[in-house]
């Protein structure tokens, strides 16, 4: 049966992973921090699925919510409202300063809506984002994405500009120069800047304290809106409810996705009453099949309830310190590990080339060995920066599970260097 499964997969599925390939495991079920394969293997999930399952897999309260909600009210006409939708909008407003919410399905869709909103409200069309950004694969989101996927698809949306990711103590000078170049290229229609408070697909890069405030000032000088994409950093993962809270900066528009549905397709666009009113006055249109769906909204309510009740922001801080200590210890044992970074339970471990072997090859070898040993890891490979493991276990992970993952990673690094003859 396994042979037939892969034959069917190879014959019938569109391959959508760029140059990557599907993991050659048949995942049968998942529970807590673990995935279970059809042949009985147990795999510790250090990526929370697609960086989404912050409460672990098959959390009993999420399961109960889905079962209850799907049996009573799953989907309605897009112009109708239900209690789960209004409840979630209210609860989201209680977690941060932006009071107005639009509920959609994916991160790309939320960023698409945010950029559409910004363009309509400002009456302008130019968008600025980081050169290592990832905001999604739909039209406007993909045009603001620079870490991958730009070649071969024809023209991007006109008016998109990239600025460098802040690096080193001279970040203010870099930012000044970046906007000098933006001003030189702009046709006078700068609408918004969209950035991740911590770049995840870009290599788990955390801009220095003060950067977001300086970026917001650049936006204000030009009449631009600041859009923060907290798909992976929002809802307690970094040790605060939102990553932007560390910087005491409030965006004009905030997008949430992945973590909001804890693995189910739910995303949100949050903004101010003033921006929402101006958009409404101008006829804002973002009508989708699954806007304001009650089923996933009910799940979002449960997610927020669990995060609040169980103080998972504090838990992410505590377990993040444990994770960081373990990764620092690994770094002392393996010369290929050149940097550990991140916040809370979002960590990055960077590998460098050793001898004639590239960081990409080393990273791929470590990833494969981790999987063989029972740990799922994700490595970011971008030109010029080597390989960076993105480590984002569920916020419900235990100390014992963290210790297991760290031990497997340590062993995999040792085995990978031996395999490569290092």
Which are the catalytic amino acids? Answer: 134, 196, 229, 232, 258, 390
Q: Which residue has the tokens 């939102």?
A: 242
CB 419 within 8 A of CB 369: yes
| 36, β-bridge pairs | 29, 42
The Cα diameter of the chain in Å comes to: 66
Contacting residues for 37 by C-beta, under 8 A, at least 6 apart: 25, 26, 27, 28, 43
Q: Of 285, 247, 238, 288, which is closest to residue 108 (Cα–Cα)?
A: 288
Q: Which residue has the tokens 């950093």?
A: 233
Show contacts of 307-313: CB within 8 Å, 24+ apart. 307/54, 307/235, 307/236, 307/241, 307/395, 312/54, 312/236, 312/395, 312/396, 313/236, 313/239, 313/240, 313/241
* Cα angle: 416, vertex 420, 422; to 5 degrees: 95
């Amino acid at each position: 049966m396994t042979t037939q499964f892969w034959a069917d997969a190879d014959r019938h599925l569109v391959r959508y992973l760029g140059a990557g390939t599907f993991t050659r495991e048949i995942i049968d079920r998942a529970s807590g921090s673990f995935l279970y394969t059809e042949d009985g293997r147990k795999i510790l999930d250090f990526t929370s699925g697609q960086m989404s399952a912050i409460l672990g897999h098959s959390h009993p309260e999420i399961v109960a919510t889905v079962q209850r909600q799907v049996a009573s009210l799953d989907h309605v006409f897009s112009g109708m409202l239900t209690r789960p939708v209004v409840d979630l909008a209210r609860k989201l407003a209680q977690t941060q300063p932006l009071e107005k919410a639009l509920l959609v399905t994916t991160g790309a869709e939320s960023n698409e809506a945010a950029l559409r909103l910004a363009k309509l409200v400002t009456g302008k069309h130019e968008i600025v984002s980081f050169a290592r950004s990832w905001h999604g694969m739909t039209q406007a989101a993909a045009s603001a994405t620079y870490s991958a996927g730009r070649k071969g698809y024809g023209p991007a949306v006109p008016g998109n500009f990239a600025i460098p990711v802040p690096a080193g103590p001279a970040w203010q000078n870099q930012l000044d120069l970046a906007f000098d170049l933006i001003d030189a290229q702009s046709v006078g229609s700068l609408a918004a800047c969209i950035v991740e408070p911590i770049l995840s697909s870009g290599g788990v890069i955390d801009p220095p304290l003060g950067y977001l405030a300086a970026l917001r000032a650049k936006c204000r000088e030009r009449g631009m809106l600041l859009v923060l994409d907290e798909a992976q950093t929002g809802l307690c993962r970094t040790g605060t409810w939102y990553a932007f809270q560390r910087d005491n900066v409030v965006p004009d528009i905030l997008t949430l996705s992945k973590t909001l549905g804890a693995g189910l397709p739910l995303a949100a666009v949050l903004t101010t009453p003033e921006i929402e009113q101006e958009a409404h006055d101008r006829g804002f249109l973002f009508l989708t099949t699954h806007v304001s769906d009650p089923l996933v909204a009910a799940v979002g309510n449960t997610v927020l309830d669990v995060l609040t009740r169980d103080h998972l922001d504090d838990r992410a801080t505590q377990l993040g310190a444990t994770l960081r200590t373990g990764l620092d210890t690994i770094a002392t044992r393996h010369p290929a590990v050149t940097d550990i970074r991140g916040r809370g339970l979002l960590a990055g471990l960077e590998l460098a080339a050793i001898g004639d072997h590239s960081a990409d090859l080393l990273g791929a070898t470590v990833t494969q060995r981790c999987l063989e040993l029972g740990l799922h890891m994700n490595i970011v490979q971008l030109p010029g920066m080597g390989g960076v493991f993105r480590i984002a276990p569920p916020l419900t992970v235990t100390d014992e599970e963290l210790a297991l993952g760290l031990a497997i990673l340590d062993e995999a690094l040792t085995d990978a260097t031996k395999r490569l003859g290092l």
